[in-house]
Amino acid sequence: MKPRSILEDIGKSLTIAVWFMVLLFPLMVMKVNVTRGVAQVQFRWNLLPFVGIAAFVLSYLWKIALEWRERRGNDKSGGVFGKIKTLGGAYFAKPAVRTSSLVALLAFAIAYPFLFGMYHTNVMITAFIYVILALGLNIVVGLGGLLNLGYAAFFGVGAYTYGLMWKYVGPSFVASGIDPGWLFWISLPMAGIIATLFGILLSLPVLRLRGDYLAIITLAFGEIFRMVMQNSGNFTGGATGISLIPRPWFFGQKLPPTKAAIYIYFIAIVLVILTIFVVRRIEDSRVGRALEAMREDEVACEAMGINLVKNKLITFALGAFWAGIAGVVMAAQTTYINPDSFTLWESIIILMAVVIGGTGSIPGVIGGAILLKLLPEYFRALAQYRMLIYGIAMVLVIIFKPDGLIPRKRKQYTFEGKEGAK
């Protein structure tokens, strides 16, 4: 590519600025006031230069950013950032540093609810629930390469398992003097299993589908689940949902809300660690590699004797299991569920966490989920621009870091660990 002159760039940005001024004229400059049924147009000319300047600056920055991306692509050393990253990576690769920083992180996570208040603890629990969800979806999208837009339904299956257990089994527990908090511990594995069954149920009709078609069917499944929950009022409580869901059993004690939050926080942490552990094991296993192979090439998989039907069932079942678990924790935390918590939007947020963080990368997905849950929580002032910011973030990530913020690093695969490099 020939080097462009700065003047040329400025000229182009100026053209863009003029275009924006023309396009946004009716929106930003003209204001229609209706007084006593008479419409009057008020021209706010003073806004026009701001539109122009903003468009100019943004388009110029955009150009610089694109150029930077190109240069980075050509430059193998990766510039200053690349060097910092390599140095940091080498430092972090040392087992001692790695272990101690992980221990520090864990210590901080344990101290967190005691250092900060109940509000922050609750925010963190939500973030952890999303971490579990995102890790689960990562099995489906990152490993299996199957786009699932109805993932929130499995989350809902988990939450409703606990909710319905409370609604129907709870009263008899209370009547016979058993702490209903036990239901949480019964529901936790049960929700995992029921969500897994739903996952298998969903995977049956989509066995032969890929890409867009798969996305549409899973999307429909998610909406069907929500609609059924909403409209079977007698059974599920309909749009009002189920309330007063008990908090988890804690040695027969009734915890005040602050302590209960801390308790659920620790349950969530343990579940997050368990999820990370299991997902890592799956990734390193032969089954995990078979899932990846399926993502890469289905025909080649069949020629290798990999059973695609079984593989897809496994993918959906594993993904759904974690969503079910997360659902129970969510129901226990909020003590209230209704179908509105499991909309398409929820599925999209989880998918976004996976994509922005780095599809297939465990630290990336965790980071993405925490980022997407914490930022909106702490920038409530900007809540009305949330969608806008998500959209911009998504576009930026896809253009500048297509593999996500923390891209997947492939592990060196060694067979039996005995063979050396040739």
Partner 1 sequence: MALLELKDVQTFYGNIQALKGISISVEEGEIVTLIGANGAGKTTTLMSICGITPIRSGQIVLKGQEISKLSPNRIVKMGVSQVPEGRRIFPQLSVSENLDMGAFLRTDKEGIKRDMEEVFAIFPRLAERRSQLGGTLSGGEQQMLAVSRALMANPHLLLLDEPSLGLAPLVVQNIFEVIEKINKERKTTILLVEQNANMALKIANKGYVMQNGAIKIADTAAHLLENEEVRKAYLGL
Binding residues for partner 1 (CB under 8 A): 286, 289-290, 292-293, 295-297, 299-307, 410, 412-416, 418-419, 421-422
Q: Which is nearer to partner 1, 76 or 418 (CB)?
A: 418
Question: Rounded to the nearest whole angstrom, what is the least distance from the CB of residue 12 to partner 1 in the complex?
Answer: 36
Question: Rounded to the nearest whole angstrom, what is the least distance from the CB of residue 411 to partner 1 in the complex?
Answer: 9
Residue appearing with tokens 């629930």: 129
Q: What is the dihedral of CA 106, 107, 111, 116, to 10 degrees?
A: -60
Q: Cα–Cα distance between 132 and 192 in angstroms, integer?
A: 12
Question: Rounded to the nearest whole angstrom, what is the least distance from the CB of residue 354 to partner 1 in the complex?
Answer: 16
Question: Rounded to the nearest whole angstrom, what is the least distance from the CB of residue 205 to partner 1 in the complex?
Answer: 19
Tokens of 45: 């000319």
Q: Which is nearer to partner 1, 35 or 412 (CB)?
A: 412
The contacts of residue 149 (CB under 8 Å, 6+ apart) are 215, 216, 218, 219, 222, 344, 347, 348, 351
Q: Which is nearer to partner 1, 9 or 292 (CB)?
A: 292
Question: Rounded to the nearest whole angstrom, what is the least distance from the CB of residue 70 to partner 1 in the complex?
Answer: 21
54, 66, 60: which is closest to 11 by C-alpha? 60
Q: Cα–Cα distance between 80 and 269 in angstroms, integer?
A: 36
Question: Rounded to the nearest whole angstrom, what is the least distance from the CB of residue 301 to partner 1 in the complex?
Answer: 8
Residue appearing with tokens 């399926």: 294
> Where does 42-181 have alpha helices with state H?
48-74, 79-93, 95-115, 118-138, 151-164, 170-175
Q: Which is nearer to partner 1, 81 or 415 (CB)?
A: 415
Q: Which is nearer to partner 1, 99 or 307 (CB)?
A: 307
Residue appearing with tokens 């997360």: 326
Q: Which is nearer to partner 1, 96 or 299 (CB)?
A: 299
Q: Which is nearer to partner 1, 212 or 419 (CB)?
A: 419
The contacts of residue 349 (CB under 8 Å, 6+ apart) are 130, 372
Question: Rounded to the nearest whole angstrom, what is the least distance from the CB of residue 307 to partner 1 in the complex?
Answer: 5
Q: Please give the full DSSP string across 224-268, using - where no structure is assigned.
A: HHHHHHHH-HHHH-GGG-B--PPPPP-TT----HHHHHHHHHHHH
Asked if 143 contacts 129 with a C-beta cutoff of 8 angstroms, the reply is no
Q: Which is nearer to partner 1, 296 or 340 (CB)?
A: 296
Question: Rounded to the nearest whole angstrom, what is the least distance from the CB of residue 403 to partner 1 in the complex?
Answer: 11
The contacts of residue 28 (CB under 8 Å, 6+ apart) are 44, 47, 48, 51
